[in-house]
């Protein structure tokens, strides 16, 4: 079964959604193939990023409102074993290079481990995931080769691919992340609870079985 997860590396609900999806995934068939796909919540973000609190206030209206949002996310995170440290995140970064890294990791069978490392370093360590040193460390966390990784990050391969795919997702109607797409047929948006994912797993599995049966030659 194929599951594409459209997400952004600075989206806290994407981290929570990953945890909840993994809980629903436990015990599923081993042929489950998960692929992480890029989405930029802030496609016009400067390369150097912006001050985190200033960005959040501009988006949500006041520091009080931002504080309420952070509290809700922290509570949801605690239930999933995530310790958000919003007070240690100084800047909201541009995420192109982090998405490039995820694509690079996917070609080497390390995508999920690198996604996990990026979320952990940004949300639980307060590190800047647009910084190549931090990206290199996240890649090493995921088991990638250091020399190959540094050469890739120092280049520009994948930049346009990330931007193009993010724009394509927007044109396809994706406006919020995470978005989980099962078998290119069923989409679940948001950090849903495991029971929601479990129901969609069943729908997708039934559709997969039906398609397999229809493809079999008729008995003679």
10-residue averages of pLDDT along the chain (220 residues): 96 98 84 94 94 94 97 98 97 97 97 98 98 98 97 96 96 94 94 94 84 54
Q: How far apart are CA 34 and CA 37, in angstroms?
A: 10
Q: How far apart are CA 21 and CA 61, in angstroms?
A: 31
pLDDT for 212? 57
pLDDT for 216? 52
Write down the mean pLDDT value for the chain: 93
Q: In terms of C-beta distances under 8 Å and separation of at least 24 residues, what long-range contacts does 198-206 make, across chains too?
A: 198/24, 201/1, 201/24, 201/25, 201/28, 204/1, 205/1
pLDDT for 220? 47
H or E segment to which residue 63 belongs: helix 63-79
pLDDT for 28? 75
pLDDT for 56? 95
Q: What is the DSSP string of 179-217?
A: EEEETTTEEEESS--HHHHHHHHHHHHHHHHHHHHHHSP
Q: What is the pLDDT of residues 40-76, one digit of tens each?
A: 999 999 999 999 999 999 999 999 999 999 999 999 9
pLDDT for 214? 55
What's the pTM value of the predicted model, to 2 decimals? 0.93
């Amino acid at each position: 079964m194929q599951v594409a997860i459209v997400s952004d590396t600075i989206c806290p609900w994407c981290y929570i959604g990953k945890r909840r999806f993994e809980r629903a995934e436990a015990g599923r068939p081993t042929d489950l193939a998960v692929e992480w796909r890029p989405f930029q919540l802030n496609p016009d973000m400067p390369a150097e990023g912006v001050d985190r609190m200033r960005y959040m206030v501009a988006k949500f209206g006041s520091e009080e409102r931002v504080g309420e949002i952070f509290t809700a996310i922290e509570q949801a995170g605690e239930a999933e074993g995530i310790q958000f440290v919003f007070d240690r995140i100084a800047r909201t970064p541009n995420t192109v290079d982090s998405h490039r890294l995820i694509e690079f990791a996917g070609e080497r069978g390390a995508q999920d481990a690198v996604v996990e490392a990026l979320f952990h370093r940004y949300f639980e360590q307060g590190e800047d995931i647009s910084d190549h040193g931090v990206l290199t460390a996240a890649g090493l966390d995921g088991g990638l080769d250091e020399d190959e990784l540094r050469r890739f990050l120092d280049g520009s391969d994948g930049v346009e691919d990330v931007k193009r795919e993010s724009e394509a997702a927007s044109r396809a109607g994706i406006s919020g992340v995470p978005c989980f797409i099962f078998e290119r047929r069923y989409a679940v948006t948001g950090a849903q609870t495991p029971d929601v994912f479990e129901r969609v797993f069943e729908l997708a599995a039934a559709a997969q079985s039906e398609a397999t049966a229809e493809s079999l030659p008729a008995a003679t």
